[in-house]
Amino acid sequence: MIDKKVLYEEILPSVSQPARYVGNELNSVRRSPKEVEASILLAFPDVYEVGMSYIGFKILYEIVNNIPEFVAERAFAPWPDMEAQMRLREIPLYGLETYEPAKSFDVIGFTLQYELTYTNVLAMLELAGVPLEADARHEGDPIVIAGGPCASNPEPMAAFFDLLVIGDGEEAIVDLMSEVARAKREGAKRADIVNRLAVIDGVYCPRLKNPVSRRVVTDLDEAEFPRKFVVPFLEAVHDRVALEVMRGCTRGCRFCQAGMIYRPVRERGLDNLCSLAKDLVKSTGYDEISLLSLSSADYTQVEELSRKLVQEYADKGVAVSLPSLRVDSFSLELAKELEKSRRTGLTFAPEAGTQRMRDVINKGVTEEDLMSAAADAFESGWDLIKLYFMIGLPYEEDEDLDGIADLSRRVLELGRNMAGKRNKAGRVRVNVSVSSFVPKPHTPFQWHAQNSREELMRKQNYLKERMRVRGLTVSFHNVEASFLEAAFARGGRELAPAIARAAALGCRFDGWSDQFRPDLWAQAFKDVGIDPSAWANKSYAYDEPLPWDHIDMGVSKRFLVREAERAARAELTPDCRTGACAACGACADGVKTRLAGEAWR
């Protein structure tokens, strides 16, 4: 166990945000890893405030700790000042609940939510005293596993994991923990345990490079969801009750990895969600309920759910929010329901500035949809709207960039005109966020190259010149970071030496603009003789082997090719909930779309 006296008196007073490292929060579970049959350290390779906002982390924590024979603790990537202190004083990575060293757990389970956390994974393993490469681990070392959306292409990080879980983790983690406990009772060696875990459905073993199909929770209403969240001592990025109303999306946006790999749509029932909300508000004290999914306004009972929650909690000072909205699924009725509680801001994602580009990406919304949604919001009293766009999409032209600027200005003008009737035109603001397209595995655009860094910079400057308007705030994602993300999203095992070298050079928190060091990354790639543009800026042929071909995320390659070809013709594919089945392959082997209050179909 970590020496608390040294930690509290000598280390934490000298680092920023010491509350990140103390644990003992409300609703945390303290059960010694030494007193249970199997233990796991859930490791999130980003700062505490980010990891504590991730719903998947909360779900897995609750599932494991609801089984008395198991225990799960948490660990997050220490900020550079804390990491320096830990190295100086030889303090290992530890679990926040009992302060036991990471190496004392049977399993260390990483969440791979974002490619730019990969160096943090290696830093955490090194702090834990665990050999970085799986082949170098021996008896007594924890089994190192990972899951999350980035596991859909595990190859760049394959060398560092014993196993990866592909797909939904709710059932897989119970299978894993049960097998670890069983193997320990039988006196199995570490290598034997890894082999036994590798045959569990949805588990990928990089050493074997076994083809694997994702795990899918077929009935989300029956799946376990926390009724208590660990309440952080400091404000998390999303410091609220996160209520996952559904999983999956059938809209079919061709750039969106999550919209493909989490198919089909599975909704939680209305009564279940109301019950979860009641317990979570009571157990956490949060003053906001966020209806979470890829497109929450697409939840079939969203208006009724919103109305029930607002009626129940508005007078108690608890707001209800939808974090991101499709512009064609927002309505004045929904706006009126939400504004009865505290307004929390609205974000719309038109993604592209012209109808041609929205058809290319299969967004399925029109300019009229956006203006109508914005009018609904402004009429209901919102004075801040956030818009989200992408640049660098396949088949994009400069006139599509002009469309982004024009559409943003028109939304601002609309808001000012409507607010002017209440003498509040000066309060209206439109914040525009512009990211660079990153081609992701298991999407129709997986074969497309990312624009070169020079071209992305040109496009950013082009937009800046056309969006200098008072009341319009525009932010752009770092081009170098997007380039690195694309390389890791589309690459293979050849990238592992560069990741290890970058970590050794001190790269940490690469997704943070104030910590990102493109110069060190350039040095790392140079040192190992790798050109990342060979993956980020490479176009693949449809019949060319892809590094992630052996990972089956449910959608078929035939469907993805067909969608890529339709994109080239700017043809829309209808939402399969309202049109014909798109034959994507996700509804197979007993997995079906399930909508709240409806039977399987």
Q: What is the pLDDT of residues 338-378, one digit of tens each?
A: 665 555 567 888 999 999 999 999 998 899 999 998 888 88
Q: Answer whether residue 214 shows pLDDT above 80.
A: yes
pLDDT of residue 333: 66
For residues 110 and 57, the answer to whether their CB atoms sit within 8 Å is no
Q: Answer whether residue 571 shows pLDDT above 80.
A: yes
| Amino acid symbol at 402 | D
| Amino acid symbol at 226 | P
Dist. CA 68–CA 56, nearest whole Å? 21
Give the mean pLDDT of the chain.
92
Q: Answer whether residue 578 shows pLDDT above 80.
A: no
For the CA atoms of the chain, what is the radius of gyration?
Answer: 24
The β-bridge partners of 347 are: 386
Q: What is the pLDDT of residues 163-198, one digit of tens each?
A: 999 999 999 999 999 999 999 999 999 999 999 999
Mean pLDDT of the region 48-62 = 95
- The CATH code for residues 4-213 is 3.40.50.280
Task: Enumerate helices (H) and strands (E) in the chain, giving the number of each.
Answer: 20, 17
Q: Answer whether residue 229 shows pLDDT above 70.
A: yes
Higher pLDDT, 345 or 48: 48
Higher pLDDT, 184 or 597: 184
Dist. CA 568–CA 586, nearest whole Å? 23
pLDDT of residue 343: 57
Dist. CA 369–CA 424, nearest whole Å? 24
Place of tokens 């508000």: 281
Q: What is the pLDDT of residues 404-429, one digit of tens each?
A: 999 999 999 999 998 877 767 678 89
Residue spans of the domains in the chain: they are 4-213, 241-477+540-568
The pLDDT confidence band at residue 600, using thresholds 50, 70 and 90, is very low
The phi, psi pair for 41, rounded to 5°, reads -100, 110
Structure tokens, 155: 């190859």
Q: Answer whether residue 293 shows pLDDT above 80.
A: yes
Task: Tell me the longest C-alpha to C-alpha distance in the chain.
Answer: 76
For residues 290 and 242, the answer to whether their CB atoms sit within 8 Å is yes
pLDDT of residue 348: 86
Decide: residue 421, CB within 10 A, 0-12 exposed, 13-18 middle, 19+ buried.
exposed
pLDDT of residue 332: 58
Q: Answer whether residue 327 shows pLDDT above 80.
A: no
For residues 190 and 140, the answer to whether their CB atoms sit within 8 Å is yes
Equal fold, 4-213 vs 241-477+540-568: no
pLDDT of residue 331: 61
Q: Which residues of 83-97 are buried (b: 16+ CB within 10 A; e: fewer)?
A: bebbeeeebbbbbbb
Place of tokens 């345990």: 193
Task: Among 185-189, 420-424, 452-456, 459-463, name the one with the lowest average pLDDT.
Answer: 420-424
Q: What is the total residue count of the chain? A: 601
Bridging pattern class, strands 384-391 and 346-351:
parallel
Task: Among 32-46, 206-220, 305-319, 394-408, name the one with the lowest average pLDDT.
Answer: 305-319
The β-bridge partners of 243 are: 291
| Amino acid symbol at 112 | L
Helix (H, G, I), strand (E, B) or coil at 241: strand
H or E segment to which residue 168 belongs: none
Q: Answer whether residue 434 shows pLDDT above 60.
A: yes
Place of tokens 């993805």: 560
DSSP codes joined into one string, 478-491: -HHHHHHHHHHHH-
May I ask the CATH architecture of the domain 241-477+540-568?
Alpha-Beta Horseshoe (3.80)
Mean pLDDT of the region 219-237 = 90
The β-bridge partners of 75 are: 43
